[in-house]
Amino acid sequence: MKIVYILVLLIIISSFSYSFFFKKKSVNTSNLSKTFYDYSAKTISGDTIDMVEYKGKKVLIVNVASKCGYTYQYEELQKLHSEYSDKLVVLGFPSNDFLFQEPGSNESIKKFCSTNYGITFPMFEKIVVKKNENQHPIYSWLSHFDLNNLHDKAPSWNFCKYLINEKGDLVKYFSSKVNPLDDEIINLIK
C-alpha cells in the first residue's frame, strides 16, 4: 500500500511540476482564417501543400504516432484512403504531444509508415496539436469554435480524427477509440 501512495504522490507532483514549468499559453485566433482552404502545411518531405488542393473532396485529418496503442489504425486509414480515394483524402499529422509516442524525425516517421503500413496518403511534418502557443494553425482551426463553427475539441490523444466536407466545413470529430473503418465514418464519407 505504501508503494501505491508513493506512486500517486509522484504522479501528482510530476503533474504539478509539468503544468507549472510548461504552462500552456492560449492560442491567439484573431489572426487566423475561418476558412480551412486558407491554410497550408509542410509535408513530411518538406514541400508546402495548400489545403485548397483538397477542395471538392472530404478530408479526414488524423494526428498520428508510431509508438501508440492505436498505431494499428494506420492500416485502416490506408484502406480508407485507398477505397474512397475518389471522395476522400486522409491527411496524417505526426505529433509527439501525448506521452512522447512519436519521438522520431520526419525521415524516420516516413520510413516507418512506408515499411510497416505501405502508407500512400499525404503525411505531414511533425507538429504540435495540443492547444497552446505552438499549436499548428490547422489544429487551431480544428479546435476553436470561433474558427470552425462546430466545436472546441483539441485532440485528447493520438489518432483523433476530424472530418471536413467538400466545401471545407468541419462536420465531425472522432476520438481515438473510433476506428477509421467504423460505420459512423464510412456513412459520412458515402
Active site residue 160: no
88-94, strands of its sheet edge to edge:
88-94, 58-64, 161-164, 170-174
C-alpha R_g of the chain: 17
Full 3-state SS string of 26-59: CCCCCCCCCCHHHCEEEECCCCEEEHHHHCCCEE
Residue located via cell numbers 485507398: 82
Catalytic residue, candidates 27, 62, 68, 170: 68
Contact at 8 Å (CB) between 100 and 126?
no
Please name the residue that has the C-alpha cell 501528482.
12
* Nearest C-alpha neighbor of 97 from the set 71, 63, 74: 63
Which residues are the active-site residues?
68
